[in-house]
Amino acid sequence: MKNNLLASTWLQAVACLLIVISNAESFVTQLSPARFSALGGYASSLGQLGVFLFFMTSGYLVASLHWNDFGEGKVMAFIKGRLVKILPVYYLFTLITIVFWIIHPAWFPSTKVEPADNLLSLLFIPSVYIKELHLLTPVISAGWIFCYQVLFYMIFSVGLLLTRRSGLTFIFLSIIVLAAASITLQSENLWVQFYTNPVMLYFLSGVLCFALQPRLSTPWYHTGYSLLMVSFLAMVATIFMHGLAQLIILTFSFFILTFFSFRFVSNSPVSKILSAVGVASYSIFVCHRLLMGALEKILHLLLPGENGQITLYFALLVLVMASLSMGYLIYWLIERRASMFLRVKAG
């Protein structure tokens, strides 16, 4: 179990890196009229893979931590534990975004925020349409991921009221029905589109992987071949597949990654970096787009109008490293301490 949880932390780090690098490329392209594609034209696909991986990891971690809590009267403990993880940094950056919007709306050229949007954002209800993302988000654009996560937590908390078999049945049926509604309704309403998005199925993917693993007790270890196979399958699914086929292949890849044990030394430089990014992933997710938007405007002033490819790669590196560093600093100074304080207050 300990090894699997460590692997999940590393996978959260990979998901975080994919999303951050993908978004960094989109900001860098605004620095020059010349075409720039650091990820070979697959930035959007790799960013989407990061979201899928983040949702699978979230489902896996929630299932592993609360597998024995079904029917045990621990619903409030579950809700408190989940909220103290998300609320401090999410609320902080939501309030910062609101203040910046009030001071200088021109900093958000593609966003129109109404007073009601501020309140809805604090309730994890998306109501702001972002043109670049083609979806509803809270006031802080990166927060749409957490809107889905909170919805999953709500459904999972209801499942915890029941026995494990009944609870898991409720959780799976609820999310499958929502995903199926996207096909049957074909609604133009943005809220309906958001809450019936099949991306929610990737939470179930993580839960399913954990549920199956205790039935297979053979201790297998990752080799270079297994990791190469998983990487190949993930890339094929990301680039060439969509819908159900993509979900199945990525679920199988995730199952292999979490079921096989890693032989990596826990104090090696690579594992330390992955662990640091993994534990700080929430803070990095929340702050990175806001930070990149500010840095892009600074770089636009500092760099010449006609930027070469080397300059753009340097700008990409600056955005990525600044986002990771700032995210980890926020985790260490705010998220970690606020979570510990709220856990003590929550009993």
Q: With 60 as the cut, is the pLDDT of residue 3 above it?
A: no
d(CA 126, CA 285): 16
Average pLDDT value for residue range 13-31: 91
Q: With 60 as the cut, is the pLDDT of residue 180 above it?
A: yes
Residue range 298-327, pLDDT digits in tens: 888 887 666 678 888 899 999 999 999 999
pLDDT value for 249: 95
pTM over 0.85: yes
Residue range 274-304, pLDDT digits in tens: 889 999 999 999 999 989 988 988 888 887 6
Give the Å distances, CA to CA, from 286 to 22, 38, 147, 155, 330: 15, 23, 12, 23, 10
Average pLDDT value for residue range 253-273: 77
pLDDT value for 297: 86
Give the Å distances, CA to CA, from 242 to 48, 158, 172, 186, 340: 11, 30, 21, 18, 40
Q: With 90 as the cut, is the pLDDT of residue 75 above it?
A: yes
Locate tokens 């490329």: which residue? 25
**Alpha-carbon dihedral 134, 139, 144, 145, rounded to 10 degrees:** 140
Position 110 confidence tier, pLDDT thresholds 50, 70, 90 = low
> 272 with 291: CB under 8 angstroms?
no
d(CA 321, CA 332): 16
> Three-state SS across the chain?
CHHHHHHHHHHHHHHHHHHHHHHHHHHHHHHCCCCCCCCCCCHHHHHHHHHHHHHHHHHHHHHHHHCCCCCCCCHHHHHHHHHHHHHHHHHHHHHHHHHHHHHCHHHCCCCCCCHHHHHHHHCCCCCEEECCCCEEECCCHHHHHHHHHHHHHHHHHHHHCCCHHHHHHHHHHHHHHHHHHHHHHCCCCHHHHHHCCHHHHHHHHHHHHHHHHHHCCCCCECCHHHHHHHHHHHHHHHHHCCHHHHHHHHHHHHHHHHHCECCCCCCCHHHHHHHHHHHCHHHHHHHHHHHHHHHHHHHHHHCCCCCCHHHHHHHHHHHHHHHHHHHHHHHHHHHHHHHHHHHHHHC
